[in-house]
């Protein structure tokens, strides 16, 4: 039986800055080191993850993912995959709310109605091309290829850890567990906390959710 652990990096300084009010729009083009609280989160994972033998550890290239691994599993030699980098926000990446309004005044109304721009940032709907934002549709296509070329070629009884980011893990869970025709909205609403392992097992050819989320994510099998 295959075992898969999905881990969102520990809290970054950007996460900390956005804790009370979402003001900094970060994507795969930007990076941030762990916050002091994030470093403590990563240290707290040592006991749980250090007790597990992983046949492969697969990571995003972003610093916050790599720092999480360096602290949690200091002896690990992760394989780095660009496919696991966070969803890209294009021309909005790294900008504050005020900077977005200054550069793209046409978005002021959108930001008033939707301060986190979820319509563009957390959606399968394609954003206007001029902003160069990756929709979940684009991310899922990127990950679908990666799942087939990398993840699904694992030995049947292997144990794998993936360290990545909120939107990437949402899309991975969507691909591995859901009925993709009916669960797009549910995928965009999954709560993926920092530094909390999500555990799946592969029973025959089907991935099954075991634990790590606040509730069962989907009710139908994935078709990745």
The enclosing domain of 203 has a CATH number of 3.40.50.1240
Please check whether residue 105 lies inside any domain of the structure.
no
Structural domain includes residue 159: yes
Give the span between the Cα atoms of 102 and 215, in whole angstroms.
40
Instruction: Quote the CA–CA distance of 116 and 168 in Å, as a whole number.
Output: 18
Residue 116 lies in a domain: no
pTM exceeds 0.85, yes or no: yes
Each residue's pLDDT tens digit, 82-141: 999 999 999 999 998 899 999 999 999 999 999 888 888 899 998 888 999 999 999 999
- Three-class secondary structure of residue 145 per DSSP: helix
The two beta strands, 2-8 and 159-164, are: parallel
**Tokens (6 digits) for 191:** 């709560």
Orientation of helix 63-72 relative to helix 36-44, angle to 10°: 40
What secondary structure does DSSP assign to 47-61, as a single string?
HHHHTS--SEEEE-S
Residue with tokens 């009916």: 182
Locate the DSSP E strands across the chain: 2-8, 24-25, 56-59, 79-80, 95-96, 159-164, 198-203, 206-211
Q: Is residue 220 part of a domain?
A: no
* Number of domains making up the chain: 1
Kindly state whether residue 123 falls inside one of the protein's structural domains: no
Q: Which domain holds residue 77?
A: 2-18+36-88+135-211
- How does pLDDT run across 162-221, given as a tens digit for each residue? 999 999 999 999 999 987 778 999 999 999 999 999 999 998 888 999 999 988 888 645
């Amino acid at each position: 039986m295959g075992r898969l652990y999905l881990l969102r990096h520990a809290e970054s300084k950007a996460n900390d800055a956005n804790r009370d009010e979402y003001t900094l729009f970060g994507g795969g083009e930007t990076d941030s080191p762990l916050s002091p609280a994030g470093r403590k989160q990563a240290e707290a994972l040592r006991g749980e993850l250090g007790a597990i033998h992983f046949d492969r550890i697969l990571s995003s290239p972003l610093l916050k993912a790599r720092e999480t691994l360096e602290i949690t599993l200091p002896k690990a030699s992760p394989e780095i995959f660009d496919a696991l980098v966070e969803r890209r926000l294009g021309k909005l990446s790294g900008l504050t709310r005020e900077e977005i309004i200054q550069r793209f005044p046409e978005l002021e109304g959108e930001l008033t109605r939707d301060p986190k721009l979820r319509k563009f940032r957390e959606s399968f709907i394609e954003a206007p091309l001029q902003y160069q934002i990756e929709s979940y549709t684009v991310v899922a296509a990127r990950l679908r290829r990666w799942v087939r070329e990398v993840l699904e070629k694992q030995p049947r009884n292997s144990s794998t850890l993936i360290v990545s980011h909120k939107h990437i893990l949402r899309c991975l869970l969507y691909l591995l567990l859901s009925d993709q025709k009916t669960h797009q909205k549910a995928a965009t609403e999954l709560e993926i906390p920092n530094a909390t392992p999500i555990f799946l097992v592969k029973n025959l050819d089907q991935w099954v959710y075991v634990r790590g989320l606040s509730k069962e994510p989907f009710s139908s099998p994935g078709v990745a």
